[in-house]
Structures are given as structure tokens and as C-alpha cells.
């Protein structure tokens, strides 16, 4: 195609490249979801439908970008880890981040009804995104551990907070009062509070809330309908959604192919 005299403006573009031979962690996070979750009547502290919707969006991202080897999600955020050798978009940062965040956001709207039923989506949700390069296996494992430790801290706090705020005897006058009480407690005091005041054993709460969601692709036996119309079992790559510990060694020993 003939070039116009305006074409030179293209020369002003710059394309930061994510460092070669490093794991790329792309983290997306919902903007203003404190408010968004209130406006859409999310169950507090954990609305399972909304968490499952987030997982479906992450799955949709991983189906499109097969260089993502593992994803980890909690609350309104998800982290996607791209393999060291990936040449996705020639490792152009803005392409990678914008396409992942865009696929995630459009999926959130696309799948909303499947998870949230009759709850109308009141306005288009926004997610931000960033990419960080981690050079070593230790660094990327620590990154994922950091996010899962955060899930634990937040969930323990939120479980206490919402039980106290919704206390049937209404003994706490305001959310502010509950915040003030909780800010001076450590983790074992929070566990104790849950048990003595609300008969809740924190360790028995669903793993999805305590551990967040881990997505990775794995070979599984899948039952399909063969050409002859009969059911056949085939080994297929599928995206698995788990709620397991990824801080300890067990998960990584069982799945050595994820982060070689």
C-alpha cells in the first residue's frame, strides 16, 4: 500500500520488550471491586459465583494463550505466568498485557449471566494489568507463594470481619469498630475469635476461599463420543482448576513440567 506523508508518526512508537529467558507474571486486578461487589450484592466475604466467574475468565485467557503455564487467582485478581522461552508477541509488553487484560475483561461480561444468573450487570467492569519478569525459579515460586499467602491473610481477616459485622446480637456498632478491634489481633487470635465466638473452625472452611484457585493444563482422560457414536475415553490436554497449596514442595514435585 502507498505510504502517506503522515506515516512518519509511526516512528514515534516504542515497544518495550520483556527480558528474554525470564518468567513473565501478568497480574490483573479489578478496579474498585470493593464497590463493584457491593453494587452487585456479592455474598460476603466470599461470593462463590463471582469466584467461579473469575476462574472461567482465567480459563478463557489460557485457552487463547497457550504459553501461559499456570494461573493463580483470588478475590478480584489473577496472575498468569508465561513460560521463559515464550516468544508471544515477540515479548512486547504492551501487546501481552493489553491482550490478556482485554480477553479477561470481555470474558467477565460474556460469561456473567452463566454464573450470576438474574443479577443484572450494572456497568462495564474494568481490570488493570501489569507484567513483571522473574529470572529464577526461586523468584517465580516466591511470587506465587506471595499471592497465596496474601489470600490466606485476607481471607482470615475478611471471615472475622463479616461475621462480626453481621453478628446477630449486633454487639458491634459499626464496621469501623470491628476494624479497630481486628487491627490489634494476630493470626492465632483471629482463629481463636472465630472458634470461641462463632464456632467456626477456620481450617474447615472451603479450600477455594482459603487457598484461592490454581489453573494449569494437564492430561486427563476425557469421555467423548467417537465416530461410531459410542463413548470413548481419550487422553486430552485440559485446563484443571484446583484449590491446593502451591507454597510447599508437594504440588511442584507432582507437576514438574509446569515450571521447568
Which residue has its beta carbon closest to Mg ion? 29
> In the structure grid, which three cell numbers stand for residue 69, read together?
503455564
Closest CB to ligand ATP among residues 60, 75: 75
| Residue 50 binds ligand ATP, judged by CB under 6 A | yes
Q: Where are the alpha helices (DSSP H) in 111-225?
A: 112-116, 137-165, 175-182, 187-198, 207-211
Q: Which is nearer to ligand ATP, 50 or 215 (CB)?
A: 50
Q: How far is the CB of 160 from ligand ATP (least distance, A)?
A: 14
CA distance 128 to 230: 46
- Apex 82 CA angle, 80 and 84, nearest 5: 150
The verdict on whether residue 92 carries a ligand-binding annotation is no
Residue pair 59/105 in contact (Cβ under 8 Å)? The answer is no
Q: From CA 240, how far away is CA 246, in angstroms rounded?
A: 14
Q: Give the CB-nearest residue to ligand ATP.
A: 34
- Mark the segment that binds ligand ATP (CB under 6 A) among 8-16, 27-35, 80-88, 215-223: 27-35
Query: Is 118 part of any known ligand binding site?
Result: no
* Residue 109 cell numbers, joined: 461480561
In the bound state with ligand ATP, the residue whose beta carbon lies nearer, of 55 and 217, is: 55
33 touches Mg ion (CB under 5 A): yes
Closest by Cα among 126, 150, 151, 155 to 30: 126
Distances (CA, A) of 245 to 100, 144, 191, 209: 25, 10, 19, 12
Establish whether 49 is an annotated binding residue.
Answer: no
Of residues 90-149, which lie at the interface with Mg ion (CB under 5 A)? none
Residue 135 contacts by C-beta under 8 Å, 6 or more apart in sequence?
A: 19, 21, 22, 23
Residue 91 assigned ligand-binding role: no
Q: How far is the CB of 171 from ligand ATP (least distance, A)?
A: 23
Adjacent-strand bridge partners of 240: 216
Site for ligand ATP in 69-108 (CB under 6 A): 75-76
Residue 30 touches ligand ATP, criterion: CB under 6 A: yes
Residue 39 Cβ, how far from ligand ATP at the closest point, in Å?
Answer: 11
Q: Which residues sit at the interface with ligand ATP, rule CB under 6 A?
A: 29-34, 37, 42, 44-47, 50-51, 75-76
Task: Give the residue numbers of the binding site for Mg(2+).
Answer: 29-30, 76
Amino acid at each position: 500500500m502507498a505510504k502517506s506523508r503522515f506515516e512518519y508518526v509511526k516512528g514515534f512508537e516504542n515497544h518495550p520488550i520483556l527480558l528474554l529467558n525470564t518468567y513473565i507474571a501478568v497480574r490483573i486486578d479489578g478496579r474498585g471491586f470493593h464497590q463493584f461487589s457491593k453494587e452487585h450484592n456479592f455474598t460476603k466475604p466470599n461470593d462463590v459465583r463471582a469466584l467461579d466467574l473469575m476462574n472461567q475468565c482465567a480459563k478463557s485467557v489460557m485457552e487463547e494463550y497457550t504459553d501461559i503455564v499456570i494461573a493463580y487467582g483470588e478475590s478480584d485478581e489473577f496472575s498468569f505466568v508465561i513460560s521463559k522461552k515464550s516468544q508471544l508477541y515477540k515479548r512486547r509488553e504492551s501487546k501481552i498485557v493489553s491482550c490478556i487484560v482485554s480477553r479477561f475483561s470481555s470474558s467477565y461480561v460474556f460469561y456473567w449471566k452463566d454464573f450470576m444468573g438474574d443479577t443484572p450487570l450494572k456497568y462495564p467492569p474494568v481490570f488493570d494489568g501489569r507484567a513483571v519478569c522473574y529470572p529464577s525459579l526461586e523468584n517465580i515460586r516466591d511470587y506465587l507463594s506471595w499471592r497465596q499467602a496474601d489470600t490466606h491473610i485476607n481471607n482470615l481477616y475478611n471471615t472475622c470481619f463479616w461475621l462480626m459485622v453481621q453478628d446477630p446480637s449486633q454487639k458491634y456498632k459499626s464496621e469501623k469498630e470491628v476494624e479497630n478491634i481486628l487491627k490489634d489481633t494476630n493470626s492465632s487470635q483471629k482463629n481463636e475469635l472465630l472458634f470461641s465466638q462463632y464456632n467456626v473452625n477456620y481450617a474447615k472452611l472451603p479450600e477455594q476461599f482459603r487457598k484461592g484457585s490454581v489453573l494449569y493444563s494437564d492430561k486427563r482422560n476425557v469421555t467423548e463420543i467417537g465416530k461410531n457414536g459410542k463413548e470413548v475415553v481419550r487422553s486430552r490436554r485440559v485446563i484443571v482448576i484446583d484449590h491446593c497449596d502451591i507454597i510447599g514442595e508437594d504440588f511442584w514435585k507432582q507437576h514438574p513440567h509446569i515450571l521447568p
